[in-house]
Amino acid sequence: MTTSNRDLSAAARERARHHPGGSLHRRSLLVTAVSLHETNTVEAARNIIANHEPLPDDVRTRALNLLNQLDPAPPTPSERSSPDMPIRHQRPPTNERKGWRKPKGSVLVTRPYTWGNPHPFDEPCPVPACHNAVHTRYEAVDLFEADLLAGTLTTRHGTRWRKPVGLTQARIALAGRDVVCACPLDERCHGDVILKWANPTT
C-alpha cells in the first residue's frame, strides 16, 4: 500500500519534534513536511524543495535526503520496460575492461564527462558549496538531482569547472539514450536520475 503524502508529512513533523528548534535537521524536516503537505506526490514535493530559491543549500540537500528516507526510491529495473525505454549500463572496472565496448548510442556519465556526478561519495566533495563534506551514496545522488533541477549542475574537467547545465540541456543531449556509469546496477546511481528526468513519461 502506498503511503500518502499527508502521512509522510505527519511522520516528518513527528521526527522534527525531537530536535532543537533552530537545528539544521529540524528545519530540514519541517521543509520536507510542508512540501509533502502541499503536494499530491513525492515527486512533486521533491520539485518544490529542489526549486525553492530562498532555501539555503544545506537545508535543501538535507530535506531531499530526508524525503528519500521517508519514501525510498524504487530499485533500479534490470531490464527495459519497453523497447524504446533507455536504461543504465555498468562500465566494468579498469582491470576487467579488455574487450568491453560502450553500447552503441549510449552516453558515458562518469567523471570527468559533462554528465558525471561532481559529488563523489565516501571522500571529500570538491564542489565549493559542499566545503569538502563527505557524502553517502544517497546524499551524492540527491545532490546531483538537486543541482540538475535547479540548473546549477557543473562538472570539473581538470582544474576548470564547466558552465552550469540543467533539465533543458539534459533533455536535449540525453533523451532516448542509454547511459553508462561505473555504479553497480543494484545500487543507487545518478544515472537513474538522468534517465528519469531526460525521459519524462508524462
Average pLDDT, the chain: 82
In the numeric block, the cell 530536535 is attached to 19
More confident residue, 106 or 82: 106
pLDDT at 77 over 60: no
pLDDT of 50 reads 78
Strands (E), 65-176: 88-90, 107-108, 156-157, 160-161
Q: Which distant-in-sequence residues (6+ apart) come within 8 Å of 49 by Cβ? A: 31, 32, 35, 55, 60, 63, 64, 67, 146
Distance of CA 66 to the CA centre of its chain: 13
Task: Check pLDDT > 70 for residue 76.
Answer: no
- For the cut 80, the answer to whether the pLDDT of residue 82 exceeds it is no
pLDDT at 78: 43
Residue 168, pLDDT score: 93
Reported as a pLDDT band with limits 50, 70 and 90, residue 98 is confident
Helix (H, G, I), strand (E, B) or coil at 45: helix
Which pLDDT value is given to residue 159?
A: 85
Helix (H, G, I), strand (E, B) or coil at 7: helix
Residue 57 contacts residue 170 (beta carbons within 8 Å):
no
Of the two residues 78 and 93, the one the predictor is more confident about is 93
Please determine, for residue 1, whether its predicted confidence score (pLDDT) is greater than 60: no
Q: Give the residue, 121 or 74, on which the prediction is more confident.
A: 121
Of the listed ranges 76-80, 82-86, 128-132, 183-187, the least confidently predicted one is 76-80
Q: Which residue has the higher pLDDT, 115 or 43?
A: 115
CA–CA dist 144, 162 (Å, integer): 15
| Residue 16 pLDDT > 90 | no
What pLDDT is recorded for position 132? 94
What does the pLDDT average to over 164-179?
Answer: 94
For the chain, domain boundaries = 5-70, 88-198
